[in-house]
Amino acid sequence: MKKILLILSLIVIVVACSSNEGENNSDGNNYDRTALLTNWADNIIVPSYINYQTKVQTLVTNTNTFVANPTEVNLQTVRTSWLEAYKAYQYISMYNLGKAEEINLNIASNTYPTNTIGIESNISSGTYDLALLSQLDKQGFPALDYLINGLSTNDASIVGFYATNANATNYKQYLTAVVSKLKTNIDTVVTDWNSGFRNSYIANNGTSVSSSVNKTTNLFVKNFEKDIRTGKIGIPAGVFSSGVKYPEKVEGYYKNDISKELLNVSIKATQDFFNGKHFNSTTTGEGLKSYLDFLNVIRNGQKLSDIINNQFVTIYTVTNTLNNSFSQQVNIDNSKMIIAYDALQQNVIYTKLDMMQALNITIDYVDGDGD
Amino acid sequence: MGFSITKYLNKYSEASTLAFFRLAFGFMMVLSLIRFVSYGWIDKFYIQPQFHFTYYGFGWIKPLGNYTYLLFFISGLAALFVAIGYKYKLSIITFFLSFTYIEFMDKTTYLNHYYFITVVSFIMIFLPANAYFSIDAYRNPKIAFQKIPSWTIDILKLLLGIVYFYAGLAKLNSDWLFEAMPLKIWLPNNSNLPIIGSLLNENWLHYAFSWTGMIYDLSIPFLLLYKRTRLFGFLLVVVFHILTKILFPIGVFPYIMIVSSLLFFNSDFHKKCLQIISRLSNFSITVFENGKEKIQNFNGIYKTKIVFLTCFITFQLLFPFRYLLYPDELFWTEEGFRFSWRVMLMEKAGYTQFIVTDTKTKENIMINNSHFLTTFQEKQMSFQPDFILEYAHFLHDYYQKQGIQDPEVRVESYVALNGRLSQKYINPKINLAKENETFHHKTWILPFNDEIKGF
């Protein structure tokens, strides 16, 4: 009897102690999630943001020059800096965290096809607040695409909208407003990362649903599945519309010859993040790959990280056969788009299913009981 | 000497053991229902989802909207009455029915321990658990007995033994023993625990846990049965379940098992526990110490009861082996997986993309599962064929109402099981709207192309 009571009281003590488990000390052989998050924050996320911020700043400067002096030469400069910023954006689109999530940076920057009717009505009325949710599809890179590439088929008449058009002032104002909005958005995010968010991001190094590793990895997978596979390839190729193709729903539609370039940059950004590669450097640090390798994740006799990287190689091989313009590719030979879609889809499965399972990262936002 | 059934049926034991179990079981049920409600799970699991996964043949059991709260209240109240032994028969029947109803409302939340509770409460309907230390017997001394037939206690021990032993048998498979799967995937997730944390990444520890777990499950019923090893067995029960509680999100199950295993102790222990409780509540236990035996009247009804319970136990022994009637790998098809005490055996996850096609226009709709399912439902659906089929039928009905003509439903799906690379799961050419749930093998599950040897 006494022994049993002794055991029962032991239970109480053990349970009481186990419920306030020590938080995340990373000693011994444990995978160091703090090092992982530090590498993500300091060597990948923040540098990508800063690079994007610089590119957007150039875009702002060149736009100001163009607005002050609308010439075809100045329009070209705006276009070049727009494309550079658009490419830099592909490196940050997956970090829909913290401030970026709060201010809808992603939706505001890259919702396509853009709402041209809404843009025109904003311009003619001259009153709009781009911070409103209803305005998210009338701004960002696709809106700029329309404003600098899509107003007319020849450059002289595009310039005309900003020089001789009766509404030229409003056009200039809108172009400036859209570019400024990109800048305020990224400035807000960078400021937030530099003033405390970086530290709280790294400190949140546990394994719960709301932990940084969990959230970032989910966003990584989601970006690859929804924004890259579905948005850039699947929708234009008619995968989601029973074969009805949408050449006008490609990314960079008005410029038209950049959809492949933007796709490839975004895939590169995805792969670099997977490998923990420092931004704009050949150095690699902790990343999903090293996490998988630490856990010694072998599938069919091969490292899962190698399987995923090999699939990226396959993806590049396939996407390189595509036309620079996906609008044209869709019309000329859509089967190549479908092949590209399938290649991307395979890596969606490897990352979303096999990788998430191996890392034990839950996609479940209800913490129910298991058995 | 020989074993005589008549002799056994006429053997008597102290009623305090069963009364102790009734009290403990009832209170644990009250606490787990309160816990369930306090986590907001009624809303999350039963009110929010627009669609529920049902059990084959029990499609009529559905959540009751806001009355689901009432159902939980009734169940909790019944459990409380069981605990104190008030209107016992009515209370235990109410508890069994309401709890089973709750369990069957949506199979997304299926847990072996819910099934265990259903089976235990069903058997308790037939047991004289209110003969001792109950309001019923206190108010009506005629039904108060100090001794009751031994089988009424042994049947619960047997059931507990089945749960452990079958859970152990299920671990006798090549994935568990020779690959240390799925513990190899699960344990490293706890590497931030103090003291043992850093060990949880060690491969040898994954094997050690797998093998000890297997030996533990197979031997614990016997260790608890024999007097000499009982205390040691109970110590193992405590250590094992506390460890699983720390390592895995398994809710109240460990506590239920720990408390249930106290059933194996000598009746002196139960009596002493009840004495302590009675002293605390100013309630005298001596009323029940009347020395009376609940003499059985071997009439027709009683004999029917004994035969019925014997059949029920036989069913419990055989039912977990029904998987042998199905081809292909049990873990892959899950045909015969549930209700078989197969606990924590698989790390299985899936990916599904449903495609609905209009038969006439051939127009396709790609389904976004999150429009119809909660993340929890989607997760469970993605790797279980009966879920996939039921969801496909739901999509068929939904889109038919939307004006799609004779919708065909197909699925592109992948499943990864116990550390194998994901592979195609359901035949993508099959129109699932035309397939029906049966107890037959589902031919549209693609072959596993591997073998897991063992039980």
Average pLDDT over residues A329-339: 96
In 3D, which of B172, B248, B253 has the Cα closest to residue B214? B172
Whether the CB of A11 is below 8 Å from some CB of chain B: the reply is yes
CA proximity to B29, closest of B254, B251, B263, B256: B256
User: What backbone torsions phi and psi does residue B406 show, to the nearest 5 degrees?
Assistant: 40, 65
Which band of pLDDT confidence, cut at 50, 70 and 90, is reported for residue A118? Answer: very high
User: How does DSSP classify residue B433?
Assistant: G
pLDDT of residue B282: 77
Put simply, the answer to whether B416 touches A10 (Cβ < 8 Å) is: no
Question: Which pLDDT belongs to residue A241?
Answer: 86
Question: Strands A302-303, B12-14: parallel, antiparallel or unpaired by DSSP?
Answer: unpaired
Considering only the beta carbons, identify the residue of A21, A350, A370 that sits closest to B194: A21
Residue range A266-312, pLDDT digits in tens: 999 999 999 999 999 999 999 999 999 999 899 999 999 999 999 99
In tens, the pLDDT along B98-128 reads 999 999 999 999 999 999 999 999 999 999 9
**pTM listed for this prediction:** 0.89
- Is the confidence at residue A14, as pLDDT, over 60? no
Question: Per-residue pLDDT for A366 more than 70?
Answer: no
What's the pLDDT score for residue A332?
95
Structure confidence at residue B234 (pLDDT): 96
Strand partners, B445: B426
The set of residues, in sequence order, having a beta carbon less than 8 Å from that of B200 and lying 6+ positions away, is: B187, B188, B190, B191, B193
Q: Do A7 and B201 make contact, defined as CB atoms within 8 angstroms?
A: no
Interface residue of A212, A218, A294, A349 to substitute, partner B, most B CBs within 10 Å: A349
Indicate yes or no: CB of B201 within 8 angstroms of CB of A30: yes
User: Quick check: B359 pLDDT over 80?
Assistant: yes
Question: pLDDT at residue B406 above 80?
Answer: yes
**Three-state DSSP class for residue B149:** strand
Query: Contact A274/A289 with Cβ under 8 angstroms?
Result: yes
Where does the pLDDT of residue A155 fall: very low under 50, low under 70, confident under 90, or very high at 90 and above? very high
Q: CA B19 to CA B124: how far, in whole Å?
A: 11
Residue A130's φ and ψ, nearest 5 degrees, are -65, -10
Residue of A nearest to B419 (CA): A299
pLDDT the model gives residue A7: 59
From residue A214, alpha-carbon distances to A44, A210, A217, A220, A365 in Å are 17, 7, 5, 10, 11
Beta carbons of B218 and B167 less than 8 angstroms apart: no
Of the given ranges (A201-210, A306-315, B316-325, B415-424), which has the lowest mean pLDDT? A201-210
Give percent of chain B above pLDDT 90.
85
- Beta-carbon separation of B250 and A369 below 8 A: yes
Residue whose C-alpha is closest to residue A89's, from A230, A251, A225: A251
Which residue would you say has higher pLDDT here, A194 or B189? Answer: A194
Mean pLDDT, range A167-190, rounded to an integer = 97
Region A250-278: what's the mean pLDDT? 97
Q: Give A207-244 pLDDT, tens digit per residue.
A: 888 899 999 999 999 999 999 999 999 999 999 888 89
Question: CB A357 to CB B347 under 8 A?
Answer: yes
Question: What is the pLDDT, as a whole number, of residue B160?
Answer: 97
The whole-chain average pLDDT of chain A stands at 91
pLDDT at A162 over 60: yes
User: The tokens of B402 are what?
Assistant: 């939307």
Average pLDDT, chain B: 94
* Helix axes B16-38 and B88-104, enclosed angle (nearest 10): 40
- Is there a contact between A365 and B363 if contact means CB atoms under 8 Å apart? no
Task: Select the residue of A1, A360, A371 nearest B343 (Cβ to Cβ).
Answer: A371
Q: Give dist(CA B396, CA B357) in Å, integer.
A: 9
Inform me whether the pLDDT recorded for A370 exceeds 80: no
CB A327 within 8 A of CB A253: yes
B421·A299 Cβ contact <8 A:
yes
Give the least confident one: B30-34, B187-191, B339-343: B187-191
Decide: helix, strand or coil at residue A55: helix
CB contact under 8 A, B416 and A360: no
What is the 8-class DSSP label of residue A278? Answer: P
Cβ contacts below 8 Å, chain A against chain B, sum to 139
Q: What percent of chain A has pLDDT over 90?
A: 84
Confidence of residue A27 (pLDDT cuts 50, 70, 90): very low
Distance (Å, whole) CA A158 – CA A169: 14
In the structure, what pLDDT confidence band is assigned to residue A17 with cuts at 50, 70 and 90? very low
Q: Is the pLDDT of residue A21 over 80?
A: no
Residue that has been written with the tokens 């990280």 in this structure: A305
Across the range B279-306, mean pLDDT stands at 87
Mean pLDDT of B68-72: 97
Closest by alpha carbon to A359, among A252, A182, A213? Answer: A213
Instruction: Examine the pLDDT at A317 and tell me if it is beyond 50.
Output: yes
Number of helices (H) and strands (E) in chain B: give both, helices first.
18, 6
The pLDDT of residue B316 is 97
Tell me if B377 sits within 8 A of B309, measured CB to CB: no
- Give the DSSP per-residue string, B353-398: EEEEE-TTT--EEE--GGGTS-HHHHHHHTT-HHHHHHHHHHHHHH
Structural element, H or E, at residue B349: strand B348-357
What are B79's two structure tokens? 């459990």
Q: For residues B272 and B266, what is the distance between their CA atoms, to the nearest angstrom?
A: 10
> What three-state secondary structure class fits B310?
helix
Q: Assign residue B286 a region: left if phi > 0, alpha if psi is -120 to 50, beta otherwise?
A: alpha
What backbone phi and psi angles, to 5 degrees, belong to B450?
-160, 175
Query: Given CA atoms B400, B404, B406, B407 in this order, what sign does their dihedral have?
Result: negative
Burial of B401 (0-12, 13-18, 19+ CB in 10 A): exposed
Q: Which of B192, B269, B342 to mutate to test the interface with A (most CBs of A within 10 A)?
A: B192
Contact B287, B144 (CB under 8 A): yes
Q: CB A360 to CB B186 under 8 A?
A: yes
The alpha carbon of residue B201 is apart from the nearest alpha carbon of chain A, in Å, by 7
Q: What is the pLDDT averaged over residues A167-172?
A: 96
- Segment B121-161, tens digit of pLDDT: 999 999 999 999 999 999 999 999 999 999 999 999 999 99
Residue A89 buriedness (CB in 10 A; 0-12 / 13-18 / 19+): buried
Task: Report the residue of chain A nearest B181, measured CA to CA.
Answer: A358
Instruction: Check residues A110 and B375 and name the one with the higher pLDDT.
Output: A110
- Among B213, B255, B203, B184, which Cα is nearest to B343's? B213
Question: Does B289 have pLDDT greater than 90?
Answer: no
**Residues within 8 A of B (CB atoms), A 211-270 only:** 239-243
Residues 154-173 of A with CB under 8 A from B: none
Distance (Å) of CA B46 to CA B61, B116, B229, B261: 12, 21, 44, 32
Residues A356, B349: C-beta atoms closer than 8 Å: yes
| Chain B residues close to A365, C-beta within 8 Å | 375-376
Higher pLDDT, B13 or B281: B13
- Flag whether pLDDT at A24 surpasses 80: no
Long-range contacts of B431-435 (CB under 8 A, 24+ apart): B432/B388, B432/B389, B432/B392, B432/B393, B432/B396, B433/B392, B433/B393, B433/B395, B433/B396, B433/B407, B433/B408, B433/B409, B434/B408, B435/B389, B435/B392
- Beta carbons of B188 and A367 less than 8 Å apart: no
Confidence of residue A181 (pLDDT cuts 50, 70, 90): very high
Q: Give A111's Cβ-side CA count (13 Å radius).
A: 16
Q: How far is A294 from chain B (nearest CA, A)?
A: 9
Asked if pLDDT for residue A28 goes beyond 50, the answer is no
How many Cβ atoms from other residues are within 10 Å of residue B139's Cβ?
A: 11
Judged against a pLDDT cut of 90, whether residue B197 lies above it is answered with no
Predicted confidence (pLDDT) at residue B284 exceeds the cutoff of 50? yes
Q: Distance between CA B44 and CA B63 in Å, rounded?
A: 12
Q: In what order do the strands lie in the sheet with B364-366?
A: B364-366, B348-357, B408-417, B423-424
Calculate what percentage of chain A has a pLDDT beyond 70. Answer: 89
Whether residue A168 is predicted with pLDDT greater than 80 in this model: the reply is yes
